[in-house]
Amino acid sequence: MTILSSVLAWFADPVHWSGPEGVPARVLEHVYYGALALLVGALLAVPVGLLVGHTGRGGFLVVGLANWLRSLPDLGLLILLVLLVGIGLVPVVAALVVLAVPPLLAGAYAGVRNTDRAVVDAARGMGMREHEVLLRVELPNALPLLFGGLRSAVLQVVATTSVAAYVGFGGLGRFLIDGFRAQADPIAKYTEMTAGVLLIAALALLLEAVLAGVQRAVVSPGLRAPGRGARSPADMVLRDDPPCPLTETKPETAGVNP
Amino acid sequence: MVWDWIPRNRELILGLLAEHLVLSLLPVLAGLVLAVPLGWLANRSPAARAVLIPTAGVLYTIPSLVLFVVLPGILGTQILDPVNVVVALTVYTVALLVRSVADALAAVPSMVVAAATAMGFRPARRFVAVEFPLAVPVLIAGLRVAAVSNISLVSVGALIGVGGLGFLFTDGYQKDFPTEIITGIVLSMLIALLTDALLLTLGRVLTPWHRLAGSRG
Amino acid sequence: MIEFREVTKRFPDGTVAVDALSLDVEAGRITVFVGPSGCGKTTSLRMINRMVEPTAGTILVGGRDVMDGDPAQLRRGIGYVIQQAGLFPHRTVLDNVACVPLLLGWSRKRARARAGELMELVGLVPETAGRYPAQLPGGQQQRVGVARALAADPPVLLMDEPFSAVDPVVRQSLQDELLRLQSELDKTIVFVTHDIDEALKLGDRIAVFRVGGVLAQYDRPGVLLARPADDFVDGFVGRDRGYRGLGFLSADGLPLGELRTMTVGESVPERGWTLVVDADRRPLGWVDGGRNGASATAVRADGLVPGGSLYDTGADSLRGALDAALSSPSGLGVAVDGTGAVVGSVSADDVLTRLAAARADGAAA
C-alpha cells in the first residue's frame, strides 16, 4: 500500500496545488481546451444534425460521416496535426473537435428523427411555420437524445484532452506524461501518474454529474414520463449513447442500405 | 508521403496490425460473453439492474488512459503488459453492452414472450430460441459502437508502450515522419470501418426477418 | 363553406389518391368522409388545410382558394384534430391548448385564460391543466386535442379519425360529447372515419369513398341506409341497414295503444300480461296472469318479469319504438314520456305500418 499512501501524500503536498504547474492551473487548462473544442464541435454539428433530421434528407450522410469520424484514431490525428502545423491550440482543439462532432451530430439528428411524426404533423397542421416546427417542437423533443450526445462528447473530450500533454501541451495529462517520462524512481513515477489519472477521472465524473443536473433542469418533465428515458436517479450518470438510437432509425432512411 | 517506406517496413506494419486487431477485438468478444448473462440478469431482476446499470455507467465515464494506468496496480501486472489494455477495453465493452442487452431484452414484445411460454418453452430454452434472437439487432448496434471505439482507443495505449498501430504515431512523432503517422491512421480507420461493415452484415444474416419487413415497407 | 371543384391528387409514385372530387361541405354541419383504407378520405381532408396540395382542381374555404396565400396563416384559422392527438409531449395540457392563440400573437395571459375556458368546455377538470400529455389516458388526450383545435375559435374543424385509437366505451362518450359541443358551437366539421357506425351517428351528411379516391355517394345518413347508390355502398353500409335505417325515421304520428297497468300489492289478474308501475307510473316489470297460476295472490316487487327497452315518445326514432316492442316479454313496447312515466304501448305492427307510410311519402317526394 505504499502507492496509496504516497498518492495521498502527493495530494497533501501544497507544492502540487499552486503555480502554473499546480493542480488548479492544470484543471483550468484541461477544461479550457475541452470547452473550446465542444463549443466549436456543437456549432458545427448541432445545426447540421437538426436540419438533416428536420428535412429527413441526407440522413445516410450524417450516419456515414459520424461513423468515419468515430473511426479516426485521435492520438494519430493529434500527432499528425502537430507535426504539420506545429504545437499550439489549433491542432489540439481541432483533434478534439473531430472527437466531439460524431456524438453531437448523431444526438441532434436522432433526437429530431425520434420526435413522434404525429406531433410534427399536428404542429404543422395548427399553422406553425417550418422554423417554428423545428425550434418549438422538434428541438425540445430532441433534447434528451441531444443531451445524451453532449454527455458522450464531453466524456470523450475530457479523456482525450489528456493526450495533448504527449505533444507538450498542458492539461491534466501532464501529470501522467511527466510521471511516465521524468520520474526515475518507480514509486515516484507511479505516484504522479496515479494522481494524474485520479484527477482526470474525478473531472469526468464531476462533469457528468453536472450535465445530468443541467439535463434535468432543461428537458421538459413531459418527456420524462413513464417509458421515456431516465428510469431512476441512478440512470443520471449513464450516457444515453446516441449511436444505438441512430442505428435503430437507420431503416427509416429507406433505400440507403442496399 | 514517402511511399516506399511502407513496403520497406512491411513486417513491422503487419505485426502491429495483428497486435492492434487482437488488442481491440479480443475485448469485444470477451465483453460480449460477459455482458449477455449480466444484461439478462439486469433485465430479470430489478435489484440486479439497480446495481449493474449505474455501475456500468460509472465505468464508462472513466477515461481509458486512467484504466491503462490504474489496472496494473489492481491486477498486479506490469504497466507495459498488454493484459492491461485488453482488460480495460473489456470493461468498456461490458459497460456498454450490459445496458444494450438489458434494453434489447426489455424491448422484446411481452406478448411474444407470453406466447412462447404458453407453447411450453422453459425459460432457458425460451431465452435461446426467442428472446435472444429478437434482441440481436440492438446487440449488434452496441457491438458496432464497442468495436469501432475500441479500435480507435487501442492506439492511446501507445502512450504507455502497448498500442498496436499506435506505435506508428509515437514513433512517427519522435522521428518527425508524417508518412508513418498517416499509414497508422489509414490502417486504423480501415480496420474500424471493415469491422463495422462485417458486424452490420452479420446482423443482417442473423435477422433475415428484419430485411423482409424493411423491403415491404 | 368548403367546396371541392374537380380536385385530383396524384402522388409522385403515380398512385391517384383522390380522383376528380367535387362536393360541397355545408356550413355549421358535420360532414363525414367514410370509406375503406386507401380511399383517399384522409388525403381529401388534408387538402383542405393544405397539408397535402392538390395536383389539379380547386378547393375553396369560405369562398377563398386555399392555394392562395400563406399555408401557415390558412391553418391557424382551421382546427385540426388527428388520430393520436399529436399533443406536444414537452408542454403542459394548458400550454398545448393555448398553442394556436399564441401563434396568432395573443398575450400569454389571454391565451392561457382562453385555454382554461376551452378545457372546461370539453369536460377536462382544472387539475389536468398542469399535467403533461403522457400522464393522461387516451380519451383525455383526445379531449385536449379537441380543445386545442377549438382554442382560436376557428369556423372550420378538421378531424382525422380522432376517436379510432380509444376503446369503444370511451369512443362512445367522446362521440356524444362532440355532438353536444356541436349543438352549442355550430362549427363546420369535416370528420374522417373508416367506421360506418360512427359516420351514421355523427354525420349530418356522409360522403362514402371507394378505393382510388372516387366519391361513391354523398347523402344524408337516412338516405344512405334507405337507398344506397350501388352495391359497393350497400356492402359498405353493411348488415341490418334496413333496421338501422329506422333510426333516421321520425316516430311522429306513431299511434299509442292501451296498456293495462297495476301497482305492487294488487291481486294478479286472471290472465294476460300486465305492466306493474310505481307511484309515479314508472315501469317496474311485468306479471303474466295466466302462466304462474297464482291469480288472486298479491303482486310482489321481487316476482316481476323484467321488461325490455323503453320507447321515449319525445326523443326516440322508429328504431327505438320497434326495439321496445321486440324486446318486451309481452310483445307490447312500453312508451314513456320525458319523465319516464308510462303513457301507452306500441306494437311492432304499428311501427311497420308507419314505416310503409314513410316510404310512400319518400317515394312521393
- SS3 for C120-183, per residue? HHCCCCHHHHHCCHHHCCHHHHHHHHHHHHHCCCCCEEEEECCCCCCCHHHHHHHHHHHHHHHH
Backbone CA torsion sign across A145, A148, A152, A157: positive
Which residues have CB under 8 Å from C133's CB, separation 6+?
A222, C85, C87, C88, C89, C93, C96, C141, C144
Angle, CA B95 vertex, CA B92 and CA B96 arms, to 5°: 85
The pLDDT of residue A244 is 32
Terminal Cα-to-Cα distance of chain A (whole angstroms) = 58
Q: Is the residue at B69 inside a domain?
A: yes
Overall number of domains in chain B: 1
For residue A2, what pLDDT band results from cuts at 50, 70 and 90?
confident
* Residue from B162, B146, B190, B143 nearest B65 by CA: B162
Using an 8 Å Cβ cutoff, are B100 and B138 in contact? Answer: yes
The pLDDT of residue C291 is 65
User: How many A×B Cβ pairs under 8 Å?
Assistant: 164
For residue A237, what pLDDT band results from cuts at 50, 70 and 90?
very low
The pLDDT of residue C296 is 58
Chain A residue with minimum CA distance to B158: A75
Q: What is the CATH number of domain A31-170+230-245?
A: 1.10.3720.10
Q: How many residues does chain B have?
A: 217
Q: Is the residue at B3 inside a domain?
A: no
Do B155 and A163 make contact, defined as CB atoms within 8 angstroms? no
* Beta-sheet pairing, C205-210 with C188-193: unpaired
CATH number, domain containing residue B84? 1.10.3720.10
Q: What is the rounded CA–CA span in Å between residue C84 and residue A116?
A: 10
Binding partners of B (≥3 Cβ pairs within 8 A): A
User: Which class is domain C2-248?
Assistant: alpha beta
Q: What is the rounded CA–CA span in Å between residue B30 and residue B86?
A: 9
Residue B26 falls in which region: left (phi positive, over 0), alpha (psi -120 to 50) or beta: alpha
Residue numbers of B between 134 and 193 with CB closer than 8 Å to A: 137-138, 141-142, 144-145, 148-149, 151-152, 155-156, 158-160, 163, 165-166, 168-170, 172-173, 176, 178, 181-182, 184-185, 188-189, 192-193
B-chain CB neighbours of A159 within 8 Å are 63-66
For residue C295, what pLDDT band results from cuts at 50, 70 and 90?
low
The distance of A199 to chain B (nearest Cα, Å) reads 9
Q: Has residue A236 got a pLDDT over 80?
A: no
Query: What is the mean pLDDT of the segment spanning A215-242?
Result: 54
Query: What is the mean pLDDT of the segment spanning C11-19?
Result: 92
Q: What is the rounded CA–CA span in Å between residue C155 and residue C25?
A: 13
Summarised one tens digit per residue, pLDDT across range B60-73 is 878 888 888 888 87
The pLDDT of residue C2 is 95
Chain C residue with minimum CA distance to A132: C103
Summarised one tens digit per residue, pLDDT across range C55-108 is 999 999 999 999 998 999 999 999 999 988 899 999 999 999 999 999 999 999
Provide the domain limits for residue B129: 11-209
Q: Is the residue at B6 inside a domain?
A: no
Q: What is the rounded CA–CA span in Å between residue C319 and residue C245?
A: 8
Do A71 and B160 make contact, defined as CB atoms within 8 angstroms? no
- Indicate the CATH number of C261-357 among 3.90.1150.10, 3.10.580.10, 1.20.1250.20, 3.40.50.740: 3.10.580.10
Q: How many CB atoms lie within 10 A of CB A8?
A: 12
Name the β-bridge partners of C310: C334
Do A122 and C133 make contact, defined as CB atoms within 8 angstroms? no
% of chain B surpassing 70 pLDDT = 97
% of chain C surpassing 90 pLDDT = 56
Q: Which residue spans of chain C are classified as CATH 3.10.580.10?
A: 261-357
- Phi and psi for C189 in degrees, rounded to 5? -115, 130
Least confident of A11-25, B82-96, C35-49, C295-309: C295-309
Average pLDDT, chain B: 88
Do A127 and C148 make contact, defined as CB atoms within 8 angstroms? no
